[in-house]
Structure 1
Amino acid sequence: MPRGKVCRCNYGGRFANAVLPKEAIEEVLRGKSSIFIGYTSEPHLRKRIRLIDSRVDSSRPRPHRLAICVSPIMQLAAWVLLPRFFEASSYVSFVKMWILHGATKFYAMVQSMTSEFDAMLRIYENDPTIDIERIPWGMLPTDEDVDSENNPNNQIIGAEQTLSLNDCLLRSRSSAEYVATVDYDEIFVVRNNSTLLELLDSFNSDDSDTSAFVFRSSFVFYDVKMNLSTSDQTPFIRHPSDLSFYPLRNVSLENEIYPTGSRTKVILRPEMTKSVGVHMPRDMEDEKYKTVVVDPAVALIFHLRLVDNPLGFRNNSLPNYELNKYIAQWEKQYRERIDAETKRMEKEKVRGNRITVANKEWPNRSHQTAQDMQNCASKYYLADETCTAYAKCFPNITAVRMDEWIFGESTTVVL
């Protein structure tokens, strides 16, 4: 988003550095002491904060080769997107010695989602071969009677996406060799015969000081029609078992490849990186560390939105069949996953009021919610002197009542 649009908002995330004695850190991590934050002028109002140990232990390998940092789950109902995200991430990233599980760690920042999105996320959480860590990313706490003008959540861009990605980057330091910063509607397509991890490793073998890999992107378009095998039918799906990857055989790829820094996404070596933006790396731990912009002829991000982005150009696109090489495997993985989840529920006799695969029909508010959000965000984006805060758009989402949202816990410390 252009900087001028961001500057119309009153609040934004910031980082602070503090130097603590090693002995004090160990005491806190062992639970024998606590760490507090507060104002020196009001020490009686200090608040306890949690200390997370993400230091790299060079004596042991990290448990994951590739971790995924996803932009905050914010006003999301699009459960039909999750299989594309997870199956694609695991397949295009696989290493031969593993079985289709290159990306094995996922960080999910949770601000707000519907019950059906939560249900689909739980299906993947039940897979023992991947690790999904939900991180509470709730809205800023306010008084119940706060008006819209004084609500700080209405003065923040998109759940503070940049701050969330940097939070995730720091968490991943001790757990992964590489960390990708992506959205749920993006697929990395490797265009040569290597896998994504093999591609990253090849860059590192050429230069071990490469710390960031920037991937350019293009929008992908598909037709939405009922009862047509060549079209995308996600608006009409009423159960996870109905979802198929085969409609992605026939898509159109925008002719434009966006320039570096615009709609690009980044894969990082986290221990070398101090901070990252949404589309580009920012600061490295050492000046010698380098950034590589990957040639789009080698790898490109396919941006598959549920609804057309007004900045994309459907009329300037051509048929593309590059996803075909993945589809059969995605379909196989997904069918096995749904079958396994069904059998697990039958075996464990899972009961409760939450939506599961045992429900004959799921709500599908994916497209309507996405369209309402885009219309609302575009309105604020184009308005003068108005912050494009997505929190303002809750009343504009007609398909989901306010009491139907599942909100992430607020972990904000208010002084």
Structure 2
Amino acid sequence: MRRRGSKIFYSLLILIMVTFFVLTINIYTGPYTQYENENESIPRPWKPESSELKKRRDLSLKEIWLQKRINRNRGAFSKFKGIYVREAYRVSDEEIRFIYLENQDNDMTLKAQISPSVGWQPVEYSCFNATCFDYLFCSMATRFGSVKLAPTTPHQPYIHLTTEKSDEFTMVPVNDVRLHPTSHRYPHTLGVCLQPIFFFTDWTVILQFFESWIAQGATKFYFYLHSYTWQTKRVLDFYKDSLGDNLEFIDWSDLPVHARDKGSYDRDPNSRVFRHAATAFMHDCMLRARSHVKFVANTDLDDLAVSSSLNISDFLENASVRHSDAAQFKVDWILSHQPQNWDPIKNPKDVNFVLQSVRVLKIANIRYDYRVSKKMFHRPERVTNFDMHSVYRNELAGNRNQQYTTVEMFDNPDLYFLHLRRFERHLLNPLPVEFNNNFNGSLLMKLNTRMLDQLAKRIDRTEFAESPLIPWTMEARQTMRDLEQCRREAFGSILDDQNQMCQQSSSGCEGMLTAGVPFIKAPQTWINIAHKALFNTYVEKTEKFSLFS
């Protein structure tokens, strides 16, 4: 009996020691204990090997062609002379930055004036990548203007911009996004920059977007608006009432163009802008988020971020402790199918997300450029130039002559994006698709439950819950089909590498819409600071009387 009691005692003692050991490990390491998939590096220009040039269809490969073309046409006369700007940002005591669009062969110098006492100074400019051109044969390129200041310069709400040959200047608003020099505190840990929605009809995915991010810790949203339906506006207005200042709407219009030139490939500057200035949007939002949000995701509505803990902000906080110099965390972006189930949905109460129906494709079955593309969470004040999938340059880390780093977290089950393609075609002979049957779908079911609980509480006892938002399904399907067609056709031409026309341009798609949807459009937000015109003047110089004249 005594020996049996001793065995029980020693068993309990061992159990207590093991429990203590496990708890100690968790306290000091947290729930994310596998770090072998994390690779930290400094961004450097990427150059593909020659053997990959035909295999890859990565957008960045178009830069090679563009460089050859610009060398061939260096002396050619530009058809598009406009220089378009929106807002500026004071990023430090010594610098104001702004983003502008101009044709890639424009060589006009910009000038800036902080105050009349300082005078005019040339604007320094840079490009977002090594070639200084945007994507897919679209010649309207994104530029970054920089104005240097004396450190003691007081903040001014406006900056004056002009061009070297202009006799007018433009007043551009300046947003102060400086960090506190010693003890900055971010109002938000996790924020989301959403690409401009254009000709948008699927209002149900907006609920999925907000609820999925909120369920995983996001508290700040920058929502860019180009054109959308009245149903979409009802949903956005509801979330604005619910989230208040944590949701910002940013109008993002087309570039200004004469009505007689609108839709012309040779005269409308929007015909040369890639997807409503996507590159400019990303950088505008990242500048806007500086000092307000610690981690920011640049994303689209068909991207679903997933964290194994369903807490992305905590995951990033832990990762930033391990990588204190990180400017961004780069994670997998996995192509997936989310079946449409639109027809029964008449009002917001009918939406149930059905994430459990999402099917993840096998990596080998995904087109190569989508297979290798990734998504990122940025530290806004640490990144300089990037696009949706790549980093070109980060800020310098403190007083060191070295950039902040990029942390790659590939094949990491704790954080990734699913790219939910929702466009469906009823093909007679569809390509065979292989799905990853080993994907952990239970996590999506858990996320779906949390999202439904949140939505139910949010719409409880509101008129919005049962507001009829019909008809919409037929218009949505046709508009989505038209926009998908516009990826390959526009201006009466097939868009490919042979005819070398701008693909997915802002003005190319509008003329292809066939559903007759009356879209709400953003008001004009771009200013052409290079605009020239003839005007009457109603003042003349007075002649001075002189005895010697």
- TM-score (norm: length of structure 1): 0.83
**Counterparts of 2:461 and 2:258 in 1: how far apart (Å)?**
45
CA contact (8 A) 1:210 1:290 kept: yes
Give secondary structure in 1 for the equivalent of 2:392: strand
AA aligned opposite 2:209: F
Shift of 1:266: 0.9
Shift of 1:56: 1.2
Quote the residue 1:275 is aligned against: 385
Quote the residue 1:167 is aligned against: 284
Quote the residue 2:487 is aligned against: 377
**1:52 and 2:175 aligned:** yes
Quote the residue 1:242 is aligned against: 350
AA aligned opposite 1:392: G
**1:218 and 2:334 aligned:** yes
Residues 357 and 159 of structure 1, relative CA distance in 2, 3 Å threshold:
farther
**Counterparts of 1:262 and 1:304 in 2: how far apart (Å)?**
16
AA aligned opposite 1:412: W
Quote the residue 2:119 is aligned against: none
Deviates more, 1:136-145 or 1:275-284: 275-284
Residues 236 and 375 of structure 1, relative CA distance in 2, 3 Å threshold:
farther
Q: Which of structure 1's runs of 4+ aligned residues deviate more than 6 A?
A: 257-261
Quote the residue 1:316 is aligned against: 434
Give secondary structure in 1 for the equivalent of 2:295: strand
**Counterparts of 1:340 and 1:12 in 2: how far apart (Å)?**
48
**Counterparts of 1:237 and 1:358 in 2: how far apart (Å)?**
11
CA contact (8 A) 2:383 2:393 kept: yes
Pairing 1:4-403 to 2, within 5 Å after superposition: 4=62, 6-22=135-151, 24-26=153-155, 28-29=156-157, 34-42=158-166, 44-57=167-180, 58-92=182-216, 102-128=217-243, 131-147=246-262, 148-149=264-265, 150-191=267-308, 193=309, 195-223=311-339, 232-245=340-353, 247-256=354-363, 262-286=372-396, 287-298=402-413, 299-308=415-424, 315-319=433-437, 320=439, 321=441, 322-342=443-463, 358-359=467-468, 361=470, 363-364=472-473, 365-380=475-490, 381-382=495-496, 384-388=499-503, 389-401=505-517
CA contact (8 A) 2:200 2:228 kept: yes
Cα-to-partner distance string for 1:70-106 (whole Å, 9 max, x where unaligned)? 11112211211111111111112xxxxxxxxx21111
**Counterparts of 1:357 and 1:16 in 2: how far apart (Å)?**
48
| Rg (Cα) greater in structure | 2
The higher relative CO (CA closer than 8 Å, separation ≥ 6) is in 1
CA contact (8 A) 2:331 2:412 kept: no
**Counterparts of 1:293 and 1:325 in 2: how far apart (Å)?**
26
AA aligned opposite 1:336: K
**Counterparts of 2:145 and 2:371 in 1: how far apart (Å)?**
25
Within the candidate set 403, 409, 415, 2:523 is matched to 409
**Counterparts of 2:151 and 2:466 in 1: how far apart (Å)?**
48
Residues 194 and 399 of structure 1, relative CA distance in 2, 3 Å threshold:
closer
Shift of 1:39: 2.1
Cα-to-partner distance string for 1:204-252 (whole Å, 9 max, x where unaligned)? 11121111111111122144xxxxxxxx41254222121112x321221
AA aligned opposite 2:243: P
- TM-score (norm: length of structure 2): 0.63
AA aligned opposite 1:14: R
CA contact (8 A) 2:194 2:223 kept: yes
User: 5+ unaligned residues in a row in structure 2: which ranges?
Assistant: 1-57, 64-134, 397-401, 531-549
Shift of 1:275: 2.3
Quote the residue 2:76 is aligned against: none
Shift of 1:23: 5.3
Deviates more, 1:258-267 or 1:286-295: 258-267
- Seq. identity, %: 23
